[in-house]
A and B are shown apart, each in its own frame.
Chain A
Amino acid sequence: EVQLVESGGGLVQPGGSLRLSCAASGFTFSSYWMHWVRQVPGEGLVWVSRIDSDGRSTRYADSVKGRFTISRDNAKNTLYLQMNSLRAEDTAVYYCARDADVTVAGSPFDYWGQGILVTVSS
């Protein structure tokens, strides 16, 4: 059974840093691209970042570029999101999600974690 479990969320002050983790199990983690998606409570889904299978290629939404860093440790089956210079508008539930098919550009996200809340406030 595919499982994605996020951790590392919580309350942080503006300007602070936080690292989210997403532990993957039930599939060959190193064969899949992975994504982070966030959702402000009561609002819609927003794509944040993606990383390819071996971690060499990354992409970021304009709103987080230069502040967030996505990475992965395939030996530990874990995806990360390092978030620096956090702002109030980064407050959201953060989901990790699996890209369904690395051989198909623009494939959907077929498995999602349960989400972890990040609150940026003084």
Chain B
Amino acid sequence: SYVLTQPPSVSVAPGQTARITCGGNNIGGKNVHWYQQKPGQAPVLVVYDDSDRPAGIPERLSGSNSGNTATLTISRVEAGDEADYYCQMWDTLSDHWVFGGGTKLTVL
């Protein structure tokens, strides 16, 4: 089955840029979605179809996808961005949905 690989943790100072990667075989040819999950809360969709944002998600969050890596970029990081972030895609071969292992973003 398809595997999505994320770094367990990313740390960044306030005001800086955080980049969270999601690796997968030829992932650039697939649509990748990103979710933010804060402690004790349900996940929230923050980027879909590689780079689109749902209503209400700030422009500071953006996504890209090429080759074997999809990336969620958070610019001008704020304390409120501290959360776990998960990438997700649909595996066409198995007709299953796959999540990455998640990345904990720590704001220093």
Contact = CB atoms under 8 A, between A and B. Distances in A.
B101 interface: yes
A44 B96 CA distance: 16
Contact of B43 (A59, A61, A95, A107): A95
Contact of B97 (A47, A95, A100, A113): A47
B95 to A, nearest CB: 5
A108 B48 contact: yes
A71 to B, nearest CB: 18
Given A45-B102, A108-B48, A108-B88, A35 B43 contact: no
Interface in A67-122: 95, 100, 105-110, 112-115
Interface residues of B, number: 28
Contacts of A62: 1
A47 B42 contact: no
Given A106-B90, A108-B33, A110-B54, A44 B42 contact: no
Contacts of A37: 43, 99
Interface residues of A, number: 22
Interface in B28-64: 30-31, 33, 35, 37, 41-45, 48-49, 54
Interface of B: 1, 30-31, 33, 35, 37, 41-45, 48-49, 54, 84, 86, 88-90, 92, 95-102
* In the complex, the 5 A-B pairs of residues with the closest C-beta atoms, listed nearest first: A106-B90, A108-B33, A47-B97, A112-B42, A44-B102
7 contacts: A37-B43, A45-B86, A47-B96, A95-B42, A108-B88, A110-B54, A112-B42
Interface of A: 35, 37, 44-47, 50, 59, 61-62, 95, 100, 105-110, 112-115
Given A106-B31, A114-B41, 8 more contacts: A35-B97, A37-B43, A47-B96, A50-B97, A106-B30, A108-B88, A109-B43, A109-B45
